[in-house]
Structure 1
């Protein structure tokens, strides 16, 4: 006897809720259809469902996203780096408190080496006919960031390669939820030699419209932002006790029927967020205007906040992170989110005077302000001019840091944004010693400093 099993998967939604009503209705209808046909159906999310750049996710610290997954009836999820390193350990521990599905994850541990209670290293699902489906999962190795927050993360591929033989011995079908990225998925499939039946991928936002086979394993991936829903169809032969056919496809959510709440869903979530974030954070004594062309009173305030928070010698960041200005009067959490929606953390980079001078000169590139910056946590439009605080050239042409001429051999601490540490703009930053400040985002840094400087309604 042969049996058909349907698997639907999403990944890297990043709180793009614009198409969520279509995803919800499509999946719920497919679940009902397969149930009517007597065929097994399972739903999995492969991580980065949350993104604090959306105010509703920020206001609920991701719990609103979990409610959405519960509503559809997901069977299991794993986490991405957005769940893992943009929430504090307490928030991440609390995130799945109301989840009606297991969180499968094999490479994250507490500092004492124990696994947190909100996750399981593997999970098992059983069809009505008795087919046992084993699940393994791992998230990307952002070890420095996780360690900064009090977690330990191990190599994801090595964890999965070790788990695959153990879980497959207890399963008829082995499925991997991988938030490692496309190249690591390929290596995993190649190294496990067909022991894993299906790898559902994410993290690098890759799209495989028809899936791809590596080493006898089907790899499927559904892009990003809810633009596609992935579907894997497995044919299991009971006589042979194995999967005899596996195929993958994707469904373009742009072409799916539009539910009644299609256009208003995201707007309603933003309205809820505005209510949840309506409390006054600090009192602003005067209007602070922003701008992309150079320093402004608002960029000066943020620079002061960055230096105060990090204790660095100087600061450098792009003006494009400030999406507007702040009015005089009470400033709410929603005002701050609109201004700085980015899931970006502050960072201190230790550089020699010579390296810092090179970076400063590079930051004056006249083409940079108009660059349309995408990714790296940036949620604005264009890069904007570079802002410098505590660093600049004097009339004598020399570079000054904190008011004194730079010493080429002395080491200095530069406060900046984590998006600049990947080497795309400043190659020297990639190898330099770095200290990330987590889980606070840059809007938290501004808020903390403004509260100290200006006060709150009750102060």
Structure 2
């Protein structure tokens, strides 16, 4: 049992309900995706790895879940970059991207499997292989292959599929899938990569998972929502649920018998899912999906607070240096910079235009990564780095 400091308020938001049920679920699943900043932000939901871990502990250890199946935790990619911490080594005066700080957090969360995300390859395939080798779970992608590694071998020596057995004996078949578009966003990739259609790959490999005994098939993907929806549309219920990433918002849809879910971003949201076998011998599953926002009402998990402090301590002094001052709030929220004009993007473009003596300056909205409002006052080096796409 967790101590009282880590008890969390029961403010669950039901995303999808399959109706009333007698008895506990057959599976309990937790899903998250696209985590970057380990510290909390300034606006709700504040997120932060320590509050996120309190929610994890709630679903793992709360007395209401006693005698129920153990939690299965799945991650849909993008952890090793871009973030403030991944841009700086233990020597805080040296910019040398690594992403090492995320490994203990992903492991402590209890992740059972992860989909490969585009930003997980930002520091090169060799560094990804180094980081993934320290993870206590497999990384999956079935449709991006590197012929240099052998016949039909995924990039980074990831696995295509994985079968795990739940604490109550249910075989869970997992397949990892990515989209063609994000390959163009990575600076350094091996030559001659082979991209295969996500739909065709699923049609080939999901029946193999079933033949190997999978009772349920879950796709953990790193694709934009339209591509996940297309996957569901074109596979006609072959996949029980698609757990997606790459988009930084929360959404759910139900398409041709397949649930399609993405669970927010940056330790600010997660999904808790209860799955039950249907009693009609169809082999189908019913899902109850709950969204949890990681707000300031959720207490921090103290061991994670200490771990984050240990992982980032050497950065603090350098990153707290002021580099300027703002008289107005600077709006770097994703919903602002990705949809409309923002004052922080205008300010950065003005700096670029001035530096290069240009007549105009244009910047991709995804360059601004802070996802918060910076109040009037000193602008710290931390603010600049956390807003830069590494």
The residue aligned with 1:373 is: 345
The residue aligned with 1:164 is: 206
* Match status 1:36 vs 2:77: no
Matches within 5 A, 1:231-310: 231-237=272-278, 240=281, 242-254=283-295, 255-260=297-302, 268-273=310-315
The residue aligned with 2:55 is: 26
What 5-or-longer segments of structure 2 have no aligned partner?
Answer: 1-22, 41-47, 90-96, 331-340, 368-384, 386-390
Other structure's SS at 2:79 match: coil
Tell me, yes or no, if the aligned pair for 1:45 and 1:77 is still in contact at 8 Å. Answer: yes
Query: Residues of 1 paired with 2:101 and 2:230: CA distance?
Result: 35
The residue aligned with 1:6 is: 28
Other structure's SS at 1:373 match: helix
For the aligned residues, what is the CA RMSD? 3.7
Tell me, yes or no, if the aligned pair for 2:77 and 2:114 is still in contact at 8 Å. Answer: yes
Tell which deviates more after alignment, 103-112 or 140-149: 140-149
TM-score (norm 2): 0.67
Other structure's SS at 2:111 match: coil
- Structure 1 residue 99: Cα displacement: 1.0
The residue aligned with 2:350 is: 384
Query: For 1:223, which of 264, 268, 279 is the aligned residue?
Result: 264
* Match status 1:180 vs 2:223: yes
Tell me, yes or no, if the aligned pair for 1:229 and 1:252 is still in contact at 8 Å. Answer: yes
Query: For 2:84, which of 54, 63, 73 is the aligned residue?
Result: 54
Matches within 5 A, 1:59-458: 59=89, 61-84=98-121, 86-112=122-148, 114=150, 115=153, 116=155, 118-141=157-180, 142-146=182-186, 148-150=188-190, 152=193, 154-155=195-196, 157-158=198-199, 159-170=201-212, 171-208=214-251, 211-237=252-278, 240=281, 242-254=283-295, 255-260=297-302, 268-273=310-315, 371-373=343-345, 382-387=348-353, 419=364
Deviation by residue 1:230-287 (Cα, 9 ceiling, x = unmatched): 1121002477262341121211110423334687765554323469x99xxxxxxxxx
Deviation by residue 1:401-428 (Cα, 9 ceiling, x = unmatched): xxxxxxxxxxxxxxx9984899xxxxxx
- Structure 1 residue 11: Cα displacement: 0.7
- Structure 1 residue 222: Cα displacement: 1.3
Q: Structure 1 residues 242 and 146, CA, compared in 2 at 3 Å: closer, same or farther?
A: same
Q: Structure 1 residues 269 and 165, CA, compared in 2 at 3 Å: closer, same or farther?
A: same
Q: Which runs of 4+ in 1 moved over 6 A?
A: 261-265, 289-292, 388-393
- Structure 1 residue 88: Cα displacement: 1.5
Tell me, yes or no, if the aligned pair for 2:30 and 2:273 is still in contact at 8 Å. Answer: yes
Tell me, yes or no, if the aligned pair for 2:147 and 2:194 is still in contact at 8 Å. Answer: no
The residue aligned with 1:438 is: none
The residue aligned with 2:44 is: none
TM-score (norm 1): 0.58
Query: Residues of 2 paired with 1:244 and 1:259: CA distance?
Result: 33
Q: Structure 1 residues 417 and 392, CA, compared in 2 at 3 Å: closer, same or farther?
A: closer
| Higher Rg | 1
What 5-or-longer segments of structure 1 have no aligned partner?
Answer: 279-288, 293-319, 321-367, 375-380, 394-415, 423-442, 444-459
Deviation by residue 1:335-375 (Cα, 9 ceiling, x = unmatched): xxxxxxxxxxxxxxxxxxxxxxxxxxxxxxxxx9x74339x
Q: Structure 1 residues 118 and 64, CA, compared in 2 at 3 Å: closer, same or farther?
A: farther
- Structure 1 residue 54: Cα displacement: 1.4
Deviation by residue 1:173-223 (Cα, 9 ceiling, x = unmatched): 010111101111111111111111111111111312xx3211111122211
